[in-house]
Chain A
Amino acid sequence: MIEAIAHGLAALLTPHALLFMTLGVLYGLVIGILPGLGGVVAMALLLPFTYGFPTEATLALLLGAHIATIWGDSVTSILFSVPGSAKGLALCFDGYPMTQQGQAKRALAASATGALMGGIIGAVFLALCIPLIRPVILALGPSEYLMMALWGLTVIATFSEGSLMKGLIASLLGVLVAFIGTDVVTATPRFTFGFEFLMDGISFPVAMIGLFAVSEMMKLAIRGTPIVDRSVVPETSTVWQGVRDAVSHWWLVMRSSLLGLWIGVLPGVGASVAGLAAYAQAAQTSRTPERFGKGAVEGVIAPDATMGANEGGGLMPTLAFGIPGGESMALLLVAFVSLGVVPGPDMLTKNLPLVFSMVWIIVLANIMVTLIGLGITPWLARLPALQANLMVPTVLSVCVVGAYAVRGRIEDVVVAVVFGVLGYLMDKYRYSRANFVIGMVLAVMIERNLHISLTLYGNDFLIDRPIALAMLVFVVVTGALPFVRNRRRRKTLKAAAA
């Protein structure tokens, strides 16, 4: 195994592979920052350019670009509350408030360092777990995935401060919006009103562009002042502070990374769920959960560490079974075909050096992204102080083009505008946009896995699946935890007041 690790690294230390990785990382950062476009688009656009090059160099280009989009997504979420793609959503919750409080440098640096640490932890565990993972993946089925999705819903309580009712209503709306389109189980068109473009459903990145980016620009246009008025709120943080934050929260990073690795291993769960789940566990396990959503640095570190580690996890089922962990891993499989690499059990025996090359790519690309990220953070942190009159037309234009670029459909631009107005109203009347998106992300996963569970195991599927039952107990306990804590805190406050 040591030999395979060394061979894997040596194959990457060629000028060709290093150049490809650098190009991939720079390209991925740009794509990640553009709204609506993420790692999948980055890899899809690179695929035609991968033929005829050495295997390791090609993988360095593809994986390097994909990994760089993670931090690229985080940048716009933190600075403008505009998620580059679904993955960056969780970064809006605390990253953006940090920017508004003059802590943009700290948030960006904590995010980059968190992603680096998560990426490295994910890669190390990937290397260690390769021989063990096969039976674990085979032990899990749709019922367990259903429980994972339900666990994601427990985060709703975190964002429902003020009115839990409104929080729940918002998440219900999100779930119902996710059902627009052709039902994947029965092929029934639902809530399409005869519109052909709605048959494919509402594009998730487009909805997010509207809910967060367009509505934030509407707010900015109404207010007429920059996101951060430097004369009122000067930038007080430093890059070093953010790096220190990530390192000092090493236990949170470790937990989040293992969660990301685990979610990555589960085929079809995806990094957007990983980010939200990481945020949920960070808030639920914090001693001061009330700081979350108001600029807690832990709310930035946890999702980024999870998403960094998620890539390593996603590689496992892709390599071991040829089952992609997500959309981007499916594209990697396409690249494998053109490179003549056959995923399957042989990858973990005969092709082990190639597997370790990919592990090394994750590590090296993460280091590269973080170094570039920390280097450009001081410049990026100036962007929120731009005049509103400059920011509004620029960002709105990028949003409109980004929404169109997602699927090349003009109707998506209409959807982005409609969701923009909806997002503004939700924000104004305190119906949590975050809950809406969480409902949207998890709805399809919940419905699909519930249907499959009922078909496979019948109505009593929980009894047949003890792991799922144990997970359900875990979901109930972690879901109830914030309420119990709140109650205890209120009691303590009352006692103190008396």
Chain B
Amino acid sequence: MSRITQENLIAVLLLALFAGVIVLTLEFGPRARLIPLPLAVFGIVLTLVQLAWQNLRSTDDLQMDLIRVEEPVAAVDAGKPRDPHKTTFARELAATGLVVLLLGLVYVVGLVPAVFLFTAGYLVLSHQYRLVKGLVYAAAFTVVMHLLFIMALQVTPYHGLLQPFVDSLG
């Protein structure tokens, strides 16, 4: 997908969002919508101007991605240069998946075990550390987090699906 298409897609999403805000604010009383309603209308106007602006300018004027992923060496060596947009997109998906995975872990096993599993998994699978070293680092980090947040700051931990098990222990 070209940069201009991506920018247009974002602008259309914004238009839909501001339109949605207008629809929702119409259900509020006059005082509750005093500020959100005109702001959403202003948002639509601004987005339309932006949409027109970005389509009337040359694509060179549009700023390129902040993150420019270097072409992998292996791909160049093989004589089959990859599409950098595809590589970026795949990495972006992987990064999004990473944070969603951490969120899922927190929901399933709870806060502290999720920290251990995520840290250990990341360190080992990314080849930052070998298995034993990765596990030791993750365990030490988890203990520090537990001491700091749960013990010192007295944050009530979230146990996720393990809650019944924790309750039975209590």
Contact in complex: A401, B111 (CB < 8 Å): yes
Do most interface residues of chain B lie in helix, strand or loop, or is the interface mixed? Answer: helix
Which of B42, B96, B106, B123 is close to A172, meaning CB atoms less than 8 Å apart? B42
Contact B96–A218 (Cβ < 8 Å): yes
**Are B39 and A188 closer than 8 Å at their CB atoms?**
no
Give, as a whole number of angstroms, the nearest-CB distance from A128 to chain B. 38
Establish whether residues B50 and A166, one from each chain, have CB atoms under 8 Å apart when the complex forms: yes
Whole-angstrom CA separation of A48 from B154 in the bound complex: 12
Least Cβ distance of A300 to chain B in Å? 22
**CA of A71 to CA of B63, assembled, Å:** 34
Q: Which residue of A lies closest to B93 (CB)?
A: A222
Q: Which residues, 41 to 85 on A, are CB-close (under 8 Å) to B?
A: 41, 45
Q: How many residues of A contact B (CB 8 A)?
A: 62
- Per the 8 Å Cβ criterion, residues 415-468 of A in contact with B are 417, 420-421, 424-425, 427-431, 443, 446-447, 450-451
- The answer, among B28, B119, B127, for a CB contact under 8 Å with A397, is B119
Q: Which 8 pairs, one residue from A and one from B, show the smallest C-beta to C-beta distance?
A: A393-B122, A389-B128, A188-B32, A165-B50, A218-B95, A389-B126, A222-B91, A397-B115
A414 in the interface (beta carbon within 8 A): yes
Chain B residues with CB under 8 Å of chain A are: 6-7, 10, 14, 17-18, 21, 24-25, 28-29, 31-32, 34-36, 39-40, 42-43, 46-47, 49-50, 53, 63, 65-67, 69, 88, 91-92, 94-96, 98-100, 102-103, 106-107, 111, 114-115, 118-119, 122-123, 126-128, 141, 145, 148-149, 153-156, 158
Bound CA span A417–B98, Å: 10
Asked if A165 contacts B49 (CB within 8 A), the reply is yes
Q: Which of these, A30, A172, A188, contacts B43 with CB under 8 Å?
A: A172
Nearest CB of A to B122, in Å: 4
Q: Establish whether residues B158 and A410, one from each chain, have CB atoms under 8 Å apart when the complex forms.
A: yes
Q: Are A218 and B122 interface neighbours, CB within 8 A?
A: no
A365 at the interface (CB under 8 A from B): no
**Which residues does chain A contribute within 8 Å of B119, judged by CB atoms?**
393-394, 397
Q: Once the chains bind, are A34 and B36 in contact (CB under 8 Å)? A: no
Partner of B14, one of A169, A387, A424, A451: A169
Query: From B138, which residue of chain A is reached at the shortest CB distance?
Result: A393
Query: In the complex, how many angstroms separate the beta carbon of A442 from the nearest chain B beta carbon?
Result: 12
CB neighbours of A431 from chain B (8 A): 10
Residues of B within 8 A of A30 (CB): 148
CB distance from B126 to the nearest CB of A (A): 4
- By a CB distance below 8 angstroms, the chain B residues around A486 are none
B35: contacting residue among A34, A165, A223, A450, CB under 8 A: A450
Give Cα A427–Cα B66 distance, bound, in whole angstroms.
Answer: 7
Asked if A404 is at the interface (CB within 8 A of a chain B CB), the reply is yes
Are B145 and A389 touching (Cβ within 8 A)?
A: no
A390 CA / B40 CA spacing, docked (Å): 42
* B153 A429 Cβ-Cβ under 8 A: no
Contacts of A390 in B (CB 8 A): 123, 128
